[in-house]
Structure 1
Amino acid sequence: MRIAIVGTGYVGLVTGTCLAELGHEVTCVDTDAAKILGLKQGVMPIYEPGLAELVAANAAAGRLAFTTELGQAMAGSGAIFIAVGTPARASDGQADLGFVHAAARQIAANATGFALVVTKSTVPVGTGDTIERIIATARPDADLVVVSNPEFLREGTAIADFLKPDRIVVGTEDARARAVMAEIYRPFEDICPVLMTGRRTAELIKYAANAFLATKITFINEMANLCEGVGADIGSVAIGMGLDHRIGRSFLNAGPGYGGSCFPKDTVALLRTAQDHGVTLRLVEDTIAVNDARKRAMARRVVSAAGGTVAGRTIAVLGLTFKPDTDDMREAPSVALIETLQRQGATIRAYDPAGMENAARMLDDVAFLNDPYTCVKDADAVVLMTEWAELTRLDLDRLGSRMRRPVFIDLRNVYAPALLERHGFAHAGIGHPPTATPWTRRGPDRRAALLRTRPDGTERRTGDRRHRAQEAPLPA
């Protein structure tokens, strides 16, 4: 089937490429001429493992094309997918549907026969009705049927999520539309359930799923706080919970709070929709508030591990994106952490395998380094923010030897406390007790052994003339 995709962002590009991989003839459309030119040349506008190779293969096979001309893409297409951005409005947090509405008007203007208008973008309940009205007003003669088909793609695993999905949700009451959508997704008949629902129900399923997962993350983070208070270990608690098949192990990794393009935006949008309809979603309200507070609390955790102050000290941050295998910095917990530490006088050095270019647009006065070992040079503490594969297998001896003080704050619980201690690190993590006095612990760095304490509480170095001038008060 010929299919047009409006929008070549994260959802549109992955959807179009994977539909081409299924054998459909897909044309992706975008108003950004530079982006389209780049895609034709194999330049990806986003980082997603395996995407560049899949785009190249399907373009070479003639199943995937890119254009700025919507009419050209729609010619002969049985379905036009709307996959444009729906960012949160600054005024109230509700989804901004300006791009969706503009796409609907352009589709109506170029319609020539029967086709489906499939909303792939994440949109509030009732958006399909609005799209239908826009099309009817612009082109009363157009034979277009509006369908909801929410995406369930995780950044970093989006291709696998599309090609091996848990479920496919299609929202429409139109028999012709159900037949076309069944044909598009026929390759998945024996792989996963294809749930046919009403259009509003499909729109709500997406928001409900994301809000539940955000709540699950927030719950385990609160349990981590309790573990620290009672002397329990959150890792074992999560395993014990996850072994219950009714709960499951996924999304039970305690950390610095959720971020990214979906959970923060979608939970707020769901809350606004409920408020518009006079419904109270207290659990979602609390999830949003607790998560926002947790991001700020992570900076206090770093300050505590650094002896009560970071003023005049250098903090190395490893991992910036909200999760590994993406370059997405939207709502990343690292941003709140870094900005808070900077306000308290810290100097920040940072490294991320893919996110530094985007991070540089959001953060000022941060030194971005090309590898983790350069990043931690002369640092007073290192913070692990994102569990990239390369950051889960660091050479801890090498890392500690380059630091001024071997203090490791692991906000993803990647490294066992006992392992960090064996390598000479004072440590703090999530959901287990930190080292009692992390700032005074000394590790494998020989320079740390040169530190001596004066009676007045200041440090001096002995045996190394180069560092005699580097004196700072020790915290009480």
Structure 2
Amino acid sequence: MRIVMIGTGYVGLVSGACFADFGHTVTCVDKDQSKIDALLNGEIPIFEPGLDELVANNVAAGRLSFTLDIAEVLPEADAVFIAVGTPTRRGDGHADLSYVYAAAEEMAPLLRDGAVVVDKSTVPVGTGDEVEKIIAKTAPDLKFSVASNPEFLREGAAIDDFAKPDRIVVGVNDDHAKEVMEAIYRPLTSNGALLIVMNRRAAELTKYAANAFLATKISFINEMADLCEKVGADVRDVAHGIGTDSRIGSRFLMPGPGYGGSCFPKDTLALLKTAEQFDAQQAIVEAVVKSNDDRKAAMGGKVIDALSGDAAGKTVAVLGLTFKADTDDMRDSPSIDIVRALTAAGATVRAYDPEGMEQAQKIDGLGADAITYCEDAYSAMEGADGLVIITEWKPFRALDLAKVKDLMAAPVMVDLRNLYSRKDVEANGFTYVAVGR
């Protein structure tokens, strides 16, 4: 199949490279000259393990290419995937669909009869209907279809998720779109992958429902962690006790500083706005959003409490800035609230993250004028009165605790990811503060 991917961000680039690896001919299109130039030079603009090699292999094989010129490639496409950003719209919480609609308008006069336009971006219910109207208005005689194909990729494990999906969700309103989508995914379904076909609106809602449910699990175990601290229980035992129930499952039951990233924060808000529009209250999701906002706001206070309640004039080493490990994504990361709280309380922050420091410096309150960025974890700890682990990067899981103690002015560790054993840390002379323990 000949596929055009509009957008070379996280979803577009990963999906395009994976489709090419299946044997399809894929062209990724973007309006950002610097992105296309970088990709043409073999440079990957995002960090995702294994993506650089996957892109290089498929470019070399002639199956994957990049261009700024949509008119050059669109007329031959069997399927055109829209994989542009849908950030939270400033001011009202709705998903900003301007990039999706602009892509639909631009492609309309260039599509060939029989082309299938696929919303890969995360979009609210009814977006496919609007895309269909936009294209039909510009090209009233064109025979085309619009499908929904939401992505379920975890940052840091996206390639594996694409190649070995739990399920593939496809939303179509006609048989032609169904046949094309089945052909695109045949390399996976022939190996046993589950393809779930439904109508377009159901597929659009499935993406939001999935992310809202996972966000609910995270917020639930975080609140249980707070209760565990009050009653003298260990949240890890509670999570194991409920996670072994097949009706609940163990995934997303790891307590921490709150969820962030490109999906959960904006998608829960967008779902609430959709529900408001259709007068269908989502009280659980509303509570989840509030719980997570409160969680992230409280984490700075947790660190300050560990510093005897006063951070003024103290130095805090921060390990991990990205919202999770194995990504450079800083969007809505809990570290933003924590660092801002610490600096507002008068602390000096020395931070290290394996991949996220360049992105972090673009964020208000996390610039190089506000905090010090260090070359490795140990240099961040030099002279520190406290150490806080925010992100669960592998290099932070086996620190030389004796060396850490020697480097720090005061041996205080706040482990917001429960990476360490209290016994081991305290045996090295530390004050140890964890989550839900």
Q: TM-score, normalised by structure 2?
A: 0.98
From 426, 438, 447, the equivalent of 2:431 is: 426
Q: How far apart are residue 138 of structure 1 and its match?
A: 1.1
- The answer for the alignment partner of 1:51 in structure 2 is 51
Distance 1:73 1:312 in 2: 59
3-state SS of 1:75 partner:
helix
Q: Output aligned runs, 1:239-254, within 5 Å.
A: 239-254=240-255
Answer yes or no: is 1:13 the counterpart of 2:13: yes
Question: Which one has the largest radius of gyration?
Answer: 1
Distance 1:417 1:304 in 2: 18
Q: Is the 8 A contact 1:46 1:327 kept in 2?
A: yes
- The answer for the alignment partner of 1:367 in structure 2 is 372
Answer yes or no: is 1:402 the counterpart of 2:403: no
- The answer for the alignment partner of 2:357 in structure 1 is 356
* AA partner of residue 94 (structure 2): Q
- The answer for the alignment partner of 1:296 in structure 2 is 297
- The answer for the alignment partner of 1:276 in structure 2 is 277
Distance 1:43 1:93 in 2: 34
Distance 1:236 1:414 in 2: 15
* AA partner of residue 87 (structure 1): P
Q: Output aligned runs, 1:133-172, within 5 Å.
A: 133-172=133-172
Pick which of 348-357 and 188-197 moved more.
188-197
Q: How far apart are residue 112 of structure 1 and its match?
A: 2.8
- The answer for the alignment partner of 1:336 in structure 2 is 337
3-state SS of 2:76 partner:
coil
From 358, 376, 382, the equivalent of 1:377 is: 382
Percent identity of the aligned residues?
Answer: 55
Distance 2:96 2:310 in 1: 41
Q: Output aligned runs, 1:96-135, within 5 Å.
A: 96-135=96-135
Q: Is the 8 A contact 2:77 2:111 kept in 1?
A: no
Distance 2:39 2:6 in 1: 14
Distance 2:207 2:111 in 1: 28
Distance 2:73 2:344 in 1: 50
Moved over 3 A (4+): none
> What do you get for the CA RMSD once the two structures are aligned?
0.7
Aligned residues: 432
Q: Is the 8 A contact 1:28 1:73 kept in 2?
A: no
Distance 2:259 2:8 in 1: 25
Q: How far apart are residue 77 of structure 1 and its match?
A: 1.3
Q: How far apart are residue 75 of structure 1 and its match?
A: 3.1
Distance 1:69 1:116 in 2: 19
* AA partner of residue 58 (structure 2): N
Q: TM-score, normalised by structure 1?
A: 0.90
What is the CA deviation profile of residues 159-214 of structure 1, one whole-angstrom value per residue up to 9, with x for unaligned ones?
00000000001101210110111000001223321001000000000000000000
3-state SS of 1:244 partner:
coil
* AA partner of residue 398 (structure 2): R
Unaligned residue ranges in structure 2 (runs of 5+): none
- The answer for the alignment partner of 1:460 in structure 2 is none
Higher normalized contact order (CA 8 Å, seq sep 6+, divided by chain length): 2
Unaligned residue ranges in structure 1 (runs of 5+): 433-476
* AA partner of residue 259 (structure 1): G
Q: Is the 8 A contact 1:118 1:148 kept in 2?
A: yes
Distance 1:248 1:417 in 2: 26
Q: How far apart are residue 133 of structure 1 and its match?
A: 0.6
Q: Is the 8 A contact 1:6 1:83 kept in 2?
A: yes
Distance 2:11 2:376 in 1: 30
Distance 1:37 1:75 in 2: 23
Distance 1:151 1:112 in 2: 25
- The answer for the alignment partner of 1:462 in structure 2 is none
Pick which of 389-398 and 96-105 moved more.
389-398
Q: Is the 8 A contact 2:77 2:112 kept in 1?
A: no
- The answer for the alignment partner of 1:312 in structure 2 is 313
Distance 2:145 2:225 in 1: 48
Distance 1:197 1:412 in 2: 38
3-state SS of 1:39 partner:
helix
Q: How far apart are residue 113 of structure 1 and its match?
A: 2.5
Q: How far apart are residue 34 of structure 1 and its match?
A: 1.4
Distance 1:373 1:398 in 2: 8
3-state SS of 1:45 partner:
coil
Q: Is the 8 A contact 1:164 1:191 kept in 2?
A: no
Q: How far apart are residue 109 of structure 1 and its match?
A: 2.1
Q: Output aligned runs, 1:223-234, within 5 Å.
A: 223-234=224-235
Distance 1:75 1:160 in 2: 31
3-state SS of 1:117 partner:
strand
Q: How far apart are residue 73 of structure 1 and its match?
A: 2.1
* AA partner of residue 370 (structure 1): E
